[in-house]
Amino acid sequence: MTGNPTALAVGGCQHSGAAVTECEHAGDDQYETNRADSDDPWHIGSPDARMRDNAPPVDIHRGRRPDADGTLTVTFDRAYARPPRLALGRRGGTVESVSYRTDDEGNVVAADLSVDGDGPFDVFLDQT
């Protein structure tokens, strides 16, 4: 990873509640190899925070179906400074291409997947 993270959370395990909660003005932090059993374990708001190999993954979108044009749009739970790496669970077809949407500050806020098939698709952010 590049940069100087102000915080590094590595290898923790949480069984209830939030596993990682980022401070309000945090930035450029790295969260890696954390595990949690709760339904909403990651409370990360900074667009430049980096997450990798956490379970469950961040930003989970299950059972998504493409529109009539074959575009599956995934709006992320938060903005990301860099395009996140997507992982697919269930695939109701093939993914032909991925493009990203950005907000006014240039942060990535959504992905458009061009797919061949009518779904359902499960999309996860594997690494940010």
| Per-residue pLDDT tens digits of the chain, which is 128 residues long | 344 444 445 444 444 556 566 667 666 677 776 667 766 666 666 777 777 676 566 778 889 999 999 999 999 988 888 899 898 888 888 999 999 999 999 999 999 999 999 889 999 887 65
Asked if the peptide bond before residue 5 counts as cis, ω within 30 degrees of 0, the response is no
Do 68 and 27 reside in the same domain of the chain?
no
Do 48 and 80 reside in the same domain of the chain?
no
Do 63 and 32 reside in the same domain of the chain?
no
Do 63 and 123 reside in the same domain of the chain?
yes
Q: Identify the H or E element spanning 85.
A: strand 85-88
pTM: 0.67
3-state secondary structure of 60: strand
Do 70 and 118 reside in the same domain of the chain?
yes
Do 22 and 44 reside in the same domain of the chain?
yes
Q: How far is it, in rounded angstroms, from Cα 14 to Cα 35?
A: 6
Do 36 and 67 reside in the same domain of the chain?
no
Do 47 and 92 reside in the same domain of the chain?
no
In a domain, 72, yes or no: yes
As for how many domains the chain has, the answer is: 2
In a domain, 3, yes or no: no
Do 15 and 75 reside in the same domain of the chain?
no
Do 41 and 77 reside in the same domain of the chain?
no
Domain that holds residue 86: 58-127
Do 68 and 93 reside in the same domain of the chain?
yes
The encoded tokens of residue 106 equal 């240039």
